[in-house]
Amino acid sequence: MGRRALRKNPANIDLTHHYTTVEKLPVPWNPAALFDRDQPLEIEVGSGKGLFIAGAAAQRPDHNFLGIEVVDKYASHAAARIVRRGLTNAVMVHGDALKVFREMIPAASLAAVHVYFPDPWWKARHRKRRVLNAAFLIDVRRTLPPGARLHFWTDVEEYYLSTLELLQEFPELRGPLPVDERPAEHDLDYLTHFERRTRRNGEPVYRSEFERS
């Protein structure tokens, strides 16, 4: 399912405190340069239009949320969504999330990692481009302290099953733990836009969580 064209952000919207790039992230890593308050940090890999990060930041003001999106127009769109909701605990980053994890995020420093509806890269020769690969999971295991969780949802059964098989090589990530599907109370009461589209089409969503032991 392709993505619909995005509307341009209003010219008067100020993204200064809610949008940045990988190249401008603080080195060495310092979340205080990104957020007003020192709170547990959750990272979403592939934020798309920003429905999850905006909703999660609003629901959990005692946590900070960093969204990383490789497509710039979606990163800025998600940042604008955060600004419009007046959220100070969420920031969008344009760039390669795997690079951020590999080179910047310290060990045992995250409260959660979220990966929702990642690009399945359908062709066999492109599977190596998938976000959920062994190298990334090594970084997930490293950056999650005991009790923190990896959240993974997809609408592609093959991707889901192959990822569960790969995760068997990481026994420190205990799971898959069950995630119940709840009815939506309104049009935007979904985790992401992809979940909304998938469920409206009557197709299954494969959900799982893994807890760092």
> Average pLDDT, stretch 26-54?
97
The tally of CA atoms less than 13 A away on the side-chain side of residue 67 is 32
Partners of 114 in the beta sheet? 44, 151
Q: Is the pTM of this model over 0.85?
A: yes
- Spatial distance between the Cα atoms of 73 and 135, rounded to a whole number of angstroms: 27
pLDDT band at 1 (very low <50, low <70, confident <90, very high): very low
- Is pLDDT above 80 for 5? no
Query: Lowest-pLDDT range, 53-57, 136-140, 184-188?
Result: 184-188
Q: Does 119 qualify as catalytic in the annotation?
A: yes
Catalytic site residue from 14, 36, 96, 119: 119
pLDDT in tens, 84-123: 999 999 999 999 999 999 999 999 999 999 999 999 866 7
> Average pLDDT, stretch 178-188?
88
pLDDT value of residue 193: 86
pLDDT value of residue 126: 63
> Average pLDDT, stretch 55-84?
97
